[in-house]
Amino acid sequence: MAAIRVAVAGAAGRMGREVVRAVSGASDMRLVAAVDTKEAGDAGTVAGIAPNGVMISTDLASTLKNVDVDVLVDFTVARAALENVTTAIANNVKFVVGTSGMGSEAVGELLRKAETGKVGGAVVPNFALGAVLMMRFARAAARYFPDCEIIELHHDGKVDFPSGTAKATAHEIASGRGDTVGKGDAGRGVVEMGVPIHSVRLPGLVAHQEVLFGGPGQLLTIRHDSMGRDSFMPGVLLAVRKVMHLDHVVLGLDALLE
């Protein structure tokens, strides 16, 4: 079976470098292209591994026209991700988006374009398998503990808030307790689907979230911690493999685990 040909957008960023290392170490994948806002040299060297001969480009459209790519992995910024994925769809390239901060309108537009082009892809707010399980458990708990709040904690370089994972968790909670409005207090934190979300941004953190459920005389806490960006890589590689068999877009890693 031929190796999956992968391009990475945002290859010089923190997550992009991690993806380059992960793809380079996967026996069933091959890094064939890398793109960033600046030419930073050999993608392997930038990622801290051996040079691989893939030079980082600043022009995704030109890259996808000149290089045979199966899947584009995008870890850029919200304003660039939609344009990058639109370019991928125009070139019949499947995609995996891990970029945070994309609004519902941008995601909706992406879904429409992918459906028109019949191009498979995945938009994933969190690639950590433990985070997916956290959301599943939160949905189950919400049936019995309707009163809850979310605290999400990330590194100080993360500018969007609440995080995509926190929003996705709130939607799972609302689904689990059978409402779409909820009773969250808008005076404390940001309220998503009736669930208050509190965001913390501090140096020393990576990606952490806890969901607190309160009931008479008891407190249930479900927490997930990513201590390093390598925790996201098994999920990224899983998504790359799964989208190869899709002709539509899925939202969240959970949809790829079935």
Instruction: Please report, for the domain that includes residue 144, its CATH number.
Output: 3.30.360.10
2: Cβ–Cβ under 8 A, 6 or more apart, which residues? Answer: none
User: Considering its fold, how many domains does the chain have in total?
Assistant: 2
Query: For the residues 123-149, what does the mean pLDDT come to?
Result: 93
Q: Is 80 exceeded by the pLDDT of residue 100?
A: no
Task: Tell me, yes or no, whether 108 and 68 share the same domain.
Answer: yes
Helix (H, G, I), strand (E, B) or coil at 212: strand
Beta bridge partners of 212: 149, 221
User: In whole angstroms, how large is the CA radius of gyration of the chain?
Assistant: 19
Task: Tell me, yes or no, whether 102 and 143 share the same domain.
Answer: no
CB 9 within 8 A of CB 76: yes
Q: Is 60 exceeded by the pLDDT of residue 181?
A: no
Task: Tell me, yes or no, whether 217 and 252 share the same domain.
Answer: no
pLDDT at 110: 84
Task: Please say if 158 is a catalytic residue.
Answer: yes
More confident residue, 108 or 198: 198
Q: Is 90 exceeded by the pLDDT of residue 109?
A: no
Place of tokens 């899983």: 238
pLDDT, tens digit, 9 for 90 and up, residues 11-43: 999 999 999 999 999 999 999 999 999 878 999
The domain containing residue 175 runs over which residues? 129-227
Task: Tell me, yes or no, whether 70 and 167 share the same domain.
Answer: no
CATH number at residue 37: 3.40.50.720
Residue count of the chain = 258
Q: What is the mean pLDDT of the chain?
A: 91
Model confidence band, residue 185 (pLDDT cutoffs 50, 70, 90): low
Model confidence band, residue 189 (pLDDT cutoffs 50, 70, 90): confident
Task: Tell me, yes or no, whether 15 and 81 share the same domain.
Answer: yes
> Model pTM greater than 0.85?
no
Task: Tell me, yes or no, whether 39 and 147 share the same domain.
Answer: no
120: Cβ–Cβ under 8 A, 6 or more apart, which residues? Answer: 94, 114, 243, 244, 245, 246, 247, 248, 249
Strands 94-97 and 121-123 come out as parallel
Place of tokens 């028109």: 116
Query: For the residues 121-126, what does the mean pLDDT come to?
Result: 89
Q: Is 80 exceeded by the pLDDT of residue 178?
A: yes
pLDDT at 4: 98
pLDDT at 40: 81
pLDDT at 41: 93
Task: Tell me, yes or no, whether 94 and 145 share the same domain.
Answer: no
25: Cβ–Cβ under 8 A, 6 or more apart, which residues? Answer: none
Q: Please identify which of the residues 154, 167, 171, 208 carries the catalytic annotation.
A: 154
Query: For the residues 163-170, what does the mean pLDDT come to?
Result: 91
Q: Is 80 exceeded by the pLDDT of residue 239?
A: yes
Task: Tell me, yes or no, whether 247 and 236 share the same domain.
Answer: yes
Task: Tell me, yes or no, whether 114 and 242 share the same domain.
Answer: yes
Task: Tell me, yes or no, whether 85 and 17 share the same domain.
Answer: yes
Model confidence band, residue 188 (pLDDT cutoffs 50, 70, 90): low
Nearest to 153 by CA among 212, 203, 191, 220: 203
pLDDT at 186: 52
pLDDT at 37: 92
Task: Tell me, yes or no, whether 87 and 204 share the same domain.
Answer: no
Task: Please say if 65 is a catalytic residue.
Answer: no
Please write down the long-range contacts of 38-41, taking CB distance under 8 Å and 24 or more positions apart. 38/12, 40/11, 40/12
**Percent above pLDDT 70 for the chain:** 96
Lowest mean pLDDT among 14-18, 106-110, 111-115, 228-232: 106-110
pLDDT at 1: 74
Task: Tell me, yes or no, whether 119 and 234 share the same domain.
Answer: yes
**Three-point CA angle 58, 64, 66, nearest 5°:** 95
162: preceding bond cis by omega (within 30 degrees): yes
More confident residue, 115 or 68: 68
